[in-house]
Structure 1
């Protein structure tokens, strides 16, 4: 089996992502949304391409701030499709905008995206895929798997011999807790 750990060390883009982000538990809404969107943009492409385009994607998608992206309109779609600095796939762009509105709805139903994930945790990958496909756009098996591994929900982000594995074992796991109650309407 080839691990991401085998290709990342020393690479100018893979290395920092592998060493400081991939597999680290995160519950911040903007970070979660960005990570989901990056996985969507990666579908069918290489991860290094996404990492290269990450700064341009962040600029084009308003830092992946959910409320800003959910407000994107047809003019924004046209702007994004004309932006050579990003991955210009209409289906992926539409999915990101639609998914921002979905995250907004999860605030009302669950108190946010992190709480929605916690409310359904734990489950196996197949059950996660069914749930994501019923909730979000453009979330196939690989997108869901990589997203959940990247945020520390599913195991397997790092091989047992990877030094990052040892670091991750010392961190608190926010996904093992119970969801906070949703805010009152």
Structure 2
């Protein structure tokens, strides 16, 4: 992967000094380049270079990305990246069928797991959203096909649809989720080397 250019990706923001993801004008790419800590830079660069904005075709991974974006609400993306493996372990590697069958015992287990975000609303959202995705899979064949069926939509239209379909899916969460999987443009600026890598995979926003 080429060295990241100083570019201005439109939406993705990360925590630098505050506890909430910044919505300042500094782009994700620029913020990474400005990081003094090589450890932090490597953590974010791995996600930025290999995942952010790239299409996802596996329903369980789509579900997992939705879980991560929901859990980021009110926190830094860095916190979520550090806990990603713990989320995978806690939520059965994001297996939709397994999470949909979680019992009250599982809810209590998740709320006691220090490796993830112990927020009752977010835990309940993961379980209820898994159930909702099973319904979509039955009707459309897959979660991905449901997304494709509703494409294209404006951000506002997507937010209305997600709020009607899922739990804990406000505007910022929906926007970040859809940008992160290639349904909305804005993850990377045209000058960012990663942008061209994403184009090769034909993201939905390009269609």
Is TM (by shorter chain) over 0.5? Answer: yes
5+ residue gaps in structure 2? 1-24
Determine helix, strand or coil for the equivalent of 1:25: coil
- Describe the shift of the 1:31–1:84 C-alpha distance in structure 2 as closer, same or farther (beyond 3 A): same
Which of 28, 42, 66 aligns to 2:96? It is: 66
Match of 1:169 in 2: 199
Q: Which residue of 1 aligns with 2:156?
A: 126
Asked if 1:108 is matched to 2:138, the reply is yes
Cα offset for 1:175?
6.8
**C-alpha spacing 1:24/1:41, structure 2 compared with 1 (3 Å):** same
Match of 1:138 among 158, 168, 173: 168
CA RMSD of aligned residues (A): 1.4
Q: For residue 174 of structure 1, report the CA deviation from its aligned partner.
A: 5.7
The CA deviation at 1:3 is: 1.7
Q: Distance in 2 between matches of 1:110 and 1:8?
A: 39
Distance of 1:156 and 1:176 partners within structure 2: 11
Q: Rate the CA distance shift 1:61–1:99 in 2: closer, same or farther, 3 A.
A: same
Aligned equivalent of 1:149: 179
2:42 partner SS: coil
Which runs of 5 or more residues in structure 1 are unaligned?
A: 178-185
Please say if 1:29 is aligned against 2:27: no
- Maintained 8 Å contact 2:54/2:203: no
Structure-2 residue corresponding to 1:46 = 76
TM-score by length of 2: 0.82
Most deviating of 116-125 and 158-167: 158-167
Worse-superposed segment, 158-167 or 127-136: 158-167
3-state DSSP class of the match of 2:61? Answer: helix
SS for the counterpart of 1:8 is helix
Who is 2:26 aligned against? 2
- The number of residue pairs the alignment matches comes to 177
Contact 2:128 2:167 in 1 (8 A): yes
TM-superposition CA deviations, 1:133-172 (whole Å, max 9, x none) = 0000000000000000000000000122211012112223
Name the CA distance, whole Å, in 1 between partners of 2:76 and 2:86: 16
Question: How many Å separate the matches in 1 of 2:53 and 2:68?
Answer: 15
Please tell me whether the aligned partners of residues 102 and 135 of structure 1 are also in contact (alpha carbons under 8 angstroms). yes
